Amino acid sequence: MVRRPAYLHAVGLAVLLSILTTLIVAPAHAVSGDTSAVSQHGMVVAETAEASAAGVEILKHGGNAIDAACAAALATGVTHAASCGIGGGGFMLFYLASTGKYYALDYRERAPLKATATMFVRDGHPDESLARSGALAIAVPGEIAGIDAVLRRYGTMTFQQVAAPAVRLAENGFALSPHLAREISSMADHLKLDPGLAAVFLKPDGTAPKPGDIIFQKNLAATLRRLGDQPAEVFYRGPIAEELVQFIQGHGGIVTSEDFAAYQPVWREPLHRAYRGFDVYVMPPPSSGGVLLEMLGMLETGPLGGLGVNSSPYLARIIEVMREGFIDREKYADPAFVKVPVVELLSAQHIDQARERALHHKLTPPPAETAHDHGTANLIVADRQGDVVVLTTTINTSFGARLMDPKLGIILNNEMDDFGVAPGVPNAFRLEGEPANEVAPGKRPLSSMAPVIVAKNGKPILAVGGSGGPTIVTGVLQVMLDVLDFHLGPGVSVDLPRIHEQASPETVIVEEKMPAQTSSALTQMGYRLRVVPMLGAVGALKTQPGNLQGAADGRKGGLASGY
């Protein structure tokens, strides 16, 4: 496990480091714990060391940030296999220095064309377990379509060039990280039931491997090679689609060849909003990026930084703002199916009203549970031209649908659980089903993935993204505030203990690393707290050209590295 400095020590260290790092421009070196770095030419912040190295390898070979992000995403899919992979999908938000523009690519999974709003109802009752695992939980993957689309339009390398590090890791093996070892161990009983997953992730005697044991994914390596340099064609309209359809239908799923053939990623216009002199760019729906902008809008009045880093008055303020944001999240969904009132939700009038509610909310906390998610992965890349990419990718919860096509080595997502299976029925993240986000054929489920780029005078100065279901939105918010309002460096900001509030259930989740006096001050204010070992992971990268400062999150054991 990565060691992290103590909270107060870390804050003091941050001030010192931010002074030092503005004076020193040096090759990549660790600056906070083992997961942060400073570098001059390019940097990759990823949730595994191998993925970070894969991205840096591509940058060093002349690739741009788009090439490196694709390489790091594919390598993450191998080394962080419980969280993401080519059986899933994601979002990519990026800035290109050559055009001075911000771009958003949505390659989220889509519901199969045979899906219906009642597909998870049995004997008149919604059966949530069907959306959580098994073949009905599988939505049409978007990962390869997204990577292919962005490489063709803005990359400089071929698919096989960017896939090379991932192929090597899958073919030659990689040392199991503590994070993936924990996921395998906690999911071992499920993995045993699937021959593909058991063969790769369990030992021959059915027990879980230990951190440091070598994991091979030779069939996945072969599949990545088979994709050649026309990956979308081969994956969606060629033999791989046929094999996947046969596998999914053989397990009772409803995904067809037509679903694969019809899948297209969507180029979208990023949403953006001013915040204290910065411009914040986020993914539009079906991401929850707009919710993050609304939270920032509510926080814009008053001197937030003066409240003190992670002080109880500060935390109480952001808890109320998180609650209001999550209440409005129910209006978000796939914009091809539902009119999401983004303009109204981000209007000054609506934000003023939400802020008023946040300031005067009366606490009536019922006891409740909230899911702790280990799925999804985020990565951030900056290159020497000044391009910046934030990419979040997922197969949803740990090991997705818990099904791997054994011949192809592809783990299938359970993204159907990100829909509301029925009004009021909570999903794996205890987010309740809302009509806007009900299942429909070809629809994309609402996502909490929220890559963010913060700009000053048009140019990126900070990129942030995370993993961990709805804790992405609140985790990204807290790290942004720590950097923008409290002037902390990325390493300390990522490292500080965090909280999470999502309106329902009305319980504030607090990391156990939060100082006891802070938690007890929140309890005295009337908040019902639930203490958890850790919330989702967040990565951050300060993107000043020539002085890149990045931090991966020790919670999942990632790495920032550069050159």
Note the residues at the interface with ligand GLY (CB under 6 A).
376, 394, 396, 418, 447-449, 469
Which residues fall within 8 angstroms of residue 68, CB to CB, at 6 or more apart? Answer: 42, 44, 54, 55, 56, 58, 59, 162, 381, 383, 389
Q: Would you state the structure tokens that stand for residue 257, as one six-digit string?
A: 């060849």
Find, among 155, 112, 157, the residue nearest to 401 by Cα: 112
Q: Which is nearer to ligand GLY, 396 or 543 (CB)?
A: 396
CA distances (Å), origin 206, targets 213, 410, 528: 15, 20, 40
Minimum CB separation of residue 142 from ligand GLY in Å reads 12
Find, among 430, 427, 425, the residue nearest to 445 by Cα: 427
Query: What is the spatial distance between Cα 142 and Cα 348, in angstroms, rounded to a whole number?
Result: 35
Q: Which is nearer to ligand GLY, 10 or 436 (CB)?
A: 436
Under 8 Å between Cβ of 415 and 89: yes
Q: Which is nearer to ligand GLY, 47 or 418 (CB)?
A: 418
Query: What is the spatial distance between Cα 110 and Cα 170, in angstroms, rounded to a whole number?
Result: 27
**DSSP symbol at 361:** P
CA distances (Å), origin 151, targets 55, 65, 168, 244, 481: 14, 10, 20, 24, 32
Minimum CB separation of residue 47 from ligand GLY in Å reads 14
Q: What DSSP assignment string belongs to 300-352?
A: SSS-GGGG-TT-HHHHHHHHHHHHHHHHHHTT---TTTS---HHHHTSHHHHH
Minimum CB separation of residue 227 from ligand GLY in Å reads 24
Find, among 31, 25, 152, the residue nearest to 492 by Cα: 31
Q: Would you state the structure tokens that stand for residue 411, as one six-digit string?
A: 């783990």
Q: Which is nearer to ligand GLY, 472 or 499 (CB)?
A: 472
Minimum CB separation of residue 536 from ligand GLY in Å reads 10
Q: Which is nearer to ligand GLY, 35 or 447 (CB)?
A: 447
At residue 51, φ and ψ (nearest 5 deg) are -70, -40
Helices 159-172 and 49-60, packing angle to 10 deg: 140
Minimum CB separation of residue 365 from ligand GLY in Å reads 25
Minimum CB separation of residue 284 from ligand GLY in Å reads 14
Q: Which is nearer to ligand GLY, 307 or 411 (CB)?
A: 411
Contacts of the segment 119-124: beta carbons below 8 A, 24+ positions apart: 119/254, 119/439, 120/416, 120/421, 120/422, 120/439, 121/421, 121/422
Q: Which is nearer to ligand GLY, 286 or 557 (CB)?
A: 286
Q: Which is nearer to ligand GLY, 219 or 502 (CB)?
A: 502
Minimum CB separation of residue 292 from ligand GLY in Å reads 13
Minimum CB separation of residue 138 from ligand GLY in Å reads 13
Cis status, amide bond into 435, omega within 30 of 0 = no
Rg (CA), the chain: 22
Active site members = 376
Element (H, E) at 65: helix 65-79
Cis status, amide bond into 451, omega within 30 of 0 = no
Kindly report the number of other CB atoms within 10 A of residue 34's CB atom.
17
Query: What is the spatial distance between Cα 100 and Cα 459, in angstroms, rounded to a whole number?
Result: 8
Minimum CB separation of residue 420 from ligand GLY in Å reads 13
Q: Which is nearer to ligand GLY, 93 or 449 (CB)?
A: 449
